[in-house]
């Protein structure tokens, strides 16, 4: 049943200005008829009043607001493991996932070992290359070579 803001205010036990403020703020929805007058549905008024903690007194012949709709989300989930064999399916899936995890962990460990071996081989090769590129002769040979060069150049300069 549609009603004017004045009738809605009388049913809800509030002033007409409270109803019009609720309409303007969008808390209470209404439709505008051809004459430009707001028309409020009784169920919408009941929803708005319930949110404010008020009860409404609908006039005789007006439809009472519908009872709240209960959904499956309102009910607690009640299942037993053996309802449809889901427990067996889930345990098989858990076992498969555990096998996958074990396989991945063994592959990871193998790759770590390979990386460690590769790093050790690289380090050894770098040490060998460094040894090849640097002067590895004992200090006495290096000093002897320097003295010979000096003697050679000093003889040429004479």
Please state, rounded to an integer, the average pLDDT across all residues of the chain.
Answer: 81
Q: Which two tokens stand for residue 60?
A: 């005789």
For the domain that residue 44 is a member of, what is the CATH number? 1.10.1660.10
Max mean pLDDT among 58-72, 102-116, 137-151 falls in 102-116
Residue 64 in any domain: the answer is no
Residue 60 in any domain: the answer is no
Residue 61 in any domain: the answer is no
Q: Report the distance separating Cα 1 and Cα 76, nearest Å.
A: 35
Residue 78 in any domain: the answer is no
pLDDT in tens, 70-104: 665 666 655 555 566 788 899 999 999 999 999 99
Q: Give, in order, the Cα–Cα distances in Å from 23 to each of 15, 18, 35.
A: 13, 9, 17
Q: Which has more confidence, 1 or 43?
A: 43
Residue 92 in any domain: the answer is yes
**Domain total for the chain?**
2
Residue 15 in any domain: the answer is yes
Q: In 64-87, which positions are buried (b, 16+ CB within 10 angstroms) versus exposed (e)?
A: ebeeeeeeeeeeeeeeeeeeeeee
Residue 137 in any domain: the answer is no
Residue 139 in any domain: the answer is no
Give the pLDDT score at 53: 76
The range of the structural domain enclosing residue 112 comes to 86-130
Count the Cβ atoms, other than its own, within 10 Å of residue 47. Answer: 17
The full DSSP string for 71-88 is -TTTSPP---TTSSSHHH
């Amino acid at each position: 049943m549609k009603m004017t803001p004045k009738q809605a205010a009388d049913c809800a036990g509030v002033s007409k200005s409270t109803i019009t403020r609720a309409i303007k703020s969008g808390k209470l929805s209404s439709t505008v008829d051809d004459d430009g007058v707001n028309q409020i549905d009784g169920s919408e008024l009941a929803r708005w009043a319930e949110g404010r903690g008020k009860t409404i007194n609908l006039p005789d012949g007006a439809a009472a607001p519908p009872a709240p709709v209960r959904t499956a989300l309102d009910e607690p989930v009640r299942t037993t493991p053996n309802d449809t064999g889901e427990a067996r399916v889930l345990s098989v899936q858990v076992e498969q996932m555990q096998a996958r995890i074990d396989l991945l962990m063994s592959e990871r460990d193998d790759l770590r070992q390979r990386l460690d071996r590769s790093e050790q081989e690289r380090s050894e090769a770098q040490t060998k290359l460094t040894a090849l590129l640097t002067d590895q002769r004992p200090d006495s040979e290096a000093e002897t070579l320097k003295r010979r060069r000096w003697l050679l150049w000093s003889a040429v300069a004479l």
